[in-house]
Structure 1
């Protein structure tokens, strides 16, 4: 069973999130009312996912995410906030968050998001993903995408590009006509070679390296 830590400074929000997740069969092992408490609980209980608000008193959600990731915990952080401001999006990604959702998300989408992040996938609300893409549209692409991706095979670069375009492992397996096990192996190797924690960081690198150019079609 997927274990979850809910961190939000509003008691009514925490209670509502707990109810939604537990009804769906997820195990909410703890709640935290600020970032410092979230870090302490994460270090003690090591939940699969920390559902983290951004704006909390004292240590905010971004700083808490940075500390959880920096501690080397297996806990994946899913940011859930009312605000989709650019500085929050990019700060969360730089801190190591595995996903970013807005609080107007539906119950089903919230539950699926937690499960997706727990499985090691990246998850972004549509508006957040648009901001990410728009950010890199405004920047010139690098002349050689592979220059910033040392050690990757051609197949690994291809899969990284598909990850950057939001493809799941299932999508990649179908598109490249390879097994799911092979996809997972390639993804694991490219994350290790590039010292990336998860797919969220892989998405950002795919854009930053110029491997994915917003608005361009995928290679044949």
Structure 2
């Protein structure tokens, strides 16, 4: 694979280790490059400063700072980042209205998550020179 075929660089953030593992298995199946995993917002920001991800897949409900707040911090550091927030709660409207989040996925809906990943991958491929 040449440099022109660089994989999307993905940061995964969830305070539940089991969910991080599940996300990792889905993202790996899509052949993306997982460049970082974090269990809280401060660690996610520190990681992102080093790895500069293309996409952050973030849980909405975490201790301290929720996924929308984290997405806002990531977007302020990297305006081009694509933020995907997921939740079991009925917060889609609030999440998308924030202006920091590009996509919402209901937690546990792996089929929809795969669809979103495919769409983001297609968009990324079209941006390549």
Provide TM-score, normalisation by structure 2: 0.79
Deviations 1:80-114 (A, max 9, x none): 111123xx63244324111011013134x313312
- The corresponding residue for 1:56 is 62
Is 2:115 the counterpart of 1:112? yes
Q: Distance between the aligned counterparts of 2:48 and 2:118, measured in 1?
A: 18
Deviates further, 4-13 or 24-33: 24-33
Q: Give the Cα separation in 1 of the matches to 2:99 and 2:41.
A: 13
Equivalenced residue count is 119
Higher strand share: 2
Q: Give unmatched runs, 5+ long, in structure 2.
A: 1-6
CA distance in 2, matches of 1:115, 1:44: 26
Alignment of 1:37-186 (within 5 A): 37-85=43-91, 89-107=93-111, 109-117=112-120, 119=123
Determine the C-alpha separation between the residues in 2 that align with 1:92 and 1:41.
24
* Paired residues of 1:62 and 1:91 also in contact (CA < 8 A): yes
The equivalent of 2:4 in structure 1 is none
Greater relative contact order structure (CA < 8 Å, 6+ sep): 2
Task: Work out the CA distance in 2 between the residues paired with 1:115 and 1:93.
Answer: 23
Distance 1:105 1:8 in 2: 16
What residue ranges of structure 1 are gaps of 5+ in the alignment? Answer: 121-180, 185-220
1:57/1:36 CA distance change after superposition, 3 Å: same
Q: Tell me which moved more, 34-43 or 3-12.
A: 34-43
When the two chains are superposed, the root-mean-square deviation of aligned CA atoms in Å is: 2.2
Take 2:54 and 2:81, find their aligned partners in 1: how far apart are those partners?
A: 5
Contact 2:85 2:95 in 1 (8 A): no
Structure 2 partner of 1:6 = 12
